[in-house]
C-alpha cells in the first residue's frame, strides 16, 4: 500500500461516497465514504475498545514517547509524498505545503519530550501525610480539522492526545481528507497499536455526532465560530473538555516609523499565504496616515506580482480557493466594498488562466483601499486573498480600531519603536500578537484566541496537560490509627 492509497484503512459507509476535488481544476481526485452518525458511533466504539483493552493507555511513558519519535521519523521520511498530496487536495502551492509539512514532525518530538520529562507534584500537607498527584488519560478524544492546514493542525492535537495515552477519532474537513487518510499507514509503520486512531470522512452530520457522543471525553475543533458554538453546547451538556480555534479578523497595525515598503512586503505574507484562507490572515491593515498612500502603493505592487497558477509547480506563489462556494463568498464581499465606496487597488476578479486551470477556483490577490471600519470587508471574516487597508492617526485610535471586532485570535504590529510595539501588543485583545512578523509558530507556543475566536490552547504545555486529568492521592503515614469518635487529643477535622 502506498501512502496515497489508504482505502483499506477506511470503513465504508451506508450513506454513500463523496468526490474529493482538485480545487485547481475542479477534477475528481478520488472518492471517500460519506460517513454519518452511525459510522461515528462505530469509530468511537472501536477507539473506546482500544483504550480500555490497551496496550496504548497502559504503556510506560517512555514507551509511548518512543512511538511518538518513530511517528516523527516516519512522517519525515514521507514528507515528499504528503506535501504533494496536500497541495493536490487543498490547492496550496507546493512551496507552502513543503515548508509547512516539513515542520509536522516537530510536534510529535516536542510532545514526546514533554511526556519523557513529565513530573507531577508532591503537595504540602499538615501532619503525617504524603500527598502527591498523578495524571491519567482522558479516554477517547475527538479531533475535527479544517481544510486549510489539514496535517499541521491535526499534528498539533494528535501528538498531545497520543502522548497522554488517549485514543482518537479524527474527522478531517470533508473537502480535504486525503493527507489524514495517508497518515494512517504512517502511524501503523511507526508501531502505533491498531485501533488507537480512527478516521471518519463525513461532513456536518459526522462532526455534530462526534461532538455530542457521550463517550468522547474531549473535542479539539478548528473551524467556524457558529460550528464552535454548537460544539461548545454539546460538550458542556456532559462536561466534556473542549478546545476550539475559530474565526478571526486579524488586525495588522502599521506605524509611520517603519519603511512602508518594508512593512508592505512583510504584511503581504500575512494577507496572501494560503490564498488568505487562514484564521490569522492579515485581513485588515490599519495604517498610520503618514505612510498610508505609500503602503497601499507597495502592497498593491506586491500583490500584482504574485504568481498565480498550478500549485504543483514550484514557480507558483498562490493557488486557488478551496471551492467555488468559497470563491463566491469572497467575490460577494469584495463587491460589497465597491458598493460602500472603497477603492479596489488591484484584483477583485477571477484571474485569467489557461487550460485545466480555467475550471479551478482561483481569485486574484486583492487590495481594498479607502476603506472604513463600518464596511463589511472590515468586519466580516473573508477567508480569501483580500487585504483591506484603513487609515488611522494616533496610537490610541489604532488600538481601539484593532479591538473593535468580535474576534480575538491574532494581531500584528509593525514598528521600529520597541516600547510602542510591546505597549500596543499588551493593549490588543488577541490570543497571539506578532511584532514585525506574522504567523510565526512553534510547538512550544500556545495557539488560540479569545472572544468569538475560541477557547483553550493548541500546542505548548497548556495543550499537553489538557489531554489528561489530574488525580490527587493523600496517604497517611503515621503509625497510630485515627479514631475521631473514640480517640483523645484529635484536634483536626479532616
Q: Report all structural domains of the chain as residue ranges with CATH numbers, in order of start.
A: 7-246+453-473 (3.40.605.10), 250-435 (3.40.309.10)
- Would you say 401 and 251 are in contact if contact means Cβ atoms under 8 Å apart? yes
**Residue 197: all three cell numbers together:** 486512531
User: Between 225-237 and 204-212, two packed helices, what is the crossing angle to 10 degrees?
Assistant: 30
Residue range 391-403, pLDDT digits in tens:
999 999 999 999 9
Would you call 279 a catalytic residue per the annotation? Answer: yes
Residue 233, H or E segment: helix 225-237
Identify the active-site residue in 279, 297, 380, 462: 279
pLDDT at 443: 95
pLDDT at 484: 74
Residue range 106-122, pLDDT digits in tens:
999 999 999 999 999 99
Pair type for strands 282-288 and 343-346 = unpaired
pLDDT at 1: 34
Alpha-carbon span 248 to 4, nearest angstrom: 32
Identify the active-site residue in 86, 174, 245, 381: 245
Alpha-carbon span 211 to 330, nearest angstrom: 29
C-alpha atoms less than 13 angstroms from C-alpha of 59 in its C-beta half-sphere: 26
Residue 384: C-alpha distances to residues 222, 307, 441 (Å): 17, 16, 21
Q: Per-residue pLDDT averaged across 212-230, rounded?
A: 96
pTM, rounded to two decimals: 0.94
Using a 10 angstrom Cβ sphere, with 0-12 exposed, 13-18 middle and 19 or more buried, the burial of residue 240 is buried
Would you call 63 a catalytic residue per the annotation? Answer: no
Query: Of 7-11, 345-349, 462-466, which gets the smallest average pLDDT?
Result: 7-11
Amino acid at each position: 500500500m502506498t501512502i496515497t492509497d489508504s482505502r483499506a484503512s477506511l470503513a465504508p459507509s451506508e450513506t454513500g461516497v463523496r468526490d474529493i476535488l482538485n480545487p485547481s481544476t475542479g477534477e475528481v481526485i478520488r472518492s471517500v465514504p460519506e460517513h454519518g452518525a452511525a459510522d461515528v458511533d462505530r469509530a468511537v466504539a472501536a477507539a473506546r475498545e482500544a483504550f480500555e483493552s490497551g496496550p496504548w493507555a497502559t504503556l510506560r511513558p517512555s514507551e509511548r514517547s518512543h512511538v511518538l519519535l518513530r511517528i516523527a521519523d516516519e512522517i519525515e521520511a514521507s514528507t515528499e509524498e504528503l506535501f504533494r498530496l496536500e497541495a493536490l487536495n487543498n490547492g496550496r502551492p507546493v512551496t507552502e505545503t513543503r515548508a509547512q509539512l516539513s515542520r509536522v514532525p516537530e510536534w510529535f518530538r516536542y510532545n514526546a519530550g514533554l511526556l519523557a520529562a513529565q513530573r507531577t507534584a508532591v503537595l504540602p500537607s499538615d501532619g503525617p501525610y504524603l500527598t502527591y498527584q498523578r495524571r491519567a488519560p482522558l479516554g477517547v478524544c475527538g479531533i475535527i480539522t479544517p481544510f486549510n492546514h489539514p496535517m499541521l493542525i491535526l499534528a498539533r492535537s494528535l501528538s498531545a492526545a497520543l502522548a497522554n495515552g488517549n485514543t482518537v477519532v479524527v474527522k478531517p474537513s470533508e473537502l480535504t481528507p486525503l493527507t489524514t487518510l495517508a497518515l494512517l499507514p504512517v502511524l501503523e509503520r511507526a508501531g502505533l497499536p491498531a485501533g488507537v486512531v480512527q478516521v471518519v470522512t463525513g461532513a456536518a452530520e459526522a462532526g455534530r455526532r462526534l461532538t455530542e457522543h457521550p463517550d468522547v471525553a474531549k473535542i479539539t475543533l478548528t473551524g467556524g465560530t457558529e460550528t464552535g458554538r454548537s460544539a461548545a453546547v454539546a460538550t458542556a451538556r456532559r462536561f466534556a473538555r473542549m478546545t476550539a480555534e475559530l474565526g478571526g479578523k486579524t488586525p495588522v497595525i502599521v506605524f509611520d516609523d517603519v519603511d512602508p515598503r518594508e512593512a508592505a512586503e512583510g504584511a503581504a505574507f500575512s494577507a496572501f499565504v494560503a490564498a488568505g484562507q487562514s484564521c490569522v490572515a492579515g485581513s485588515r491593515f490599519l495604517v498610520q496616515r503618514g505612510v498610508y498612500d505609500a503602503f497601499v502603493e507597495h502592497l498593491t505592487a506586491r500583490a500584482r506580482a504574485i504568481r498565480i497558477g498550478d500549485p504543483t509547480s514550484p514557480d507558483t506563489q498562490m493557488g486557488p480557493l478551496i471551492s467555488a462556494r468559497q470563491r463566491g463568498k469572497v467575490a460577494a464581499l469584495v463587491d460589497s466594498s465597491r458598493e460602500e465606496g472603497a477603492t479596489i487597488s488591484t484584483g477583485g476578479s477571477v484571474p485569467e488562466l489557461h487550460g485545466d486551470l480555467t475550471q479551478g477556483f482561483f481569485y486574484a490577490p486583492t487590495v481594498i483601499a479607502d476603506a472604513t471600519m463600518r464596511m463589511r470587508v472590515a468586519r466580516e471574516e473573508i477567508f480569501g486573498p483580500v487585504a483591506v487597508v484603513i487609515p488611522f492617526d494616533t496610537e490610541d485610535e489604532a488600538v481601539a480600531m484593532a479591538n473593535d471586532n468580535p474576534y480575538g485570535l491574532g494581531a500584528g504590529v509593525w514598528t521600529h519603536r520597541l516600547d510602542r510595539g510591546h505597549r500596543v501588543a499588551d493593549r490588543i485583545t488577541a490570543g497571539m500578537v506578532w511584532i514585525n512578523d506574522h504567523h510565526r509558530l512553534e510547538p512550544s507556543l500556545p495557539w488560540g484566541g479569545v472572544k468569538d475566536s475560541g477557547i483553550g490552547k493548541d500546542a505548548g504545555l497548556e495543550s499537553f496537560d489538557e489531554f489528561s486529568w489530574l488525580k490527587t492521592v493523600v496517604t497517611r503515614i503515621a503509625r497510630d490509627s485515627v479514631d475521631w469518635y473514640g480517640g483523645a487529643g484529635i484536634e483536626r477535622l479532616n
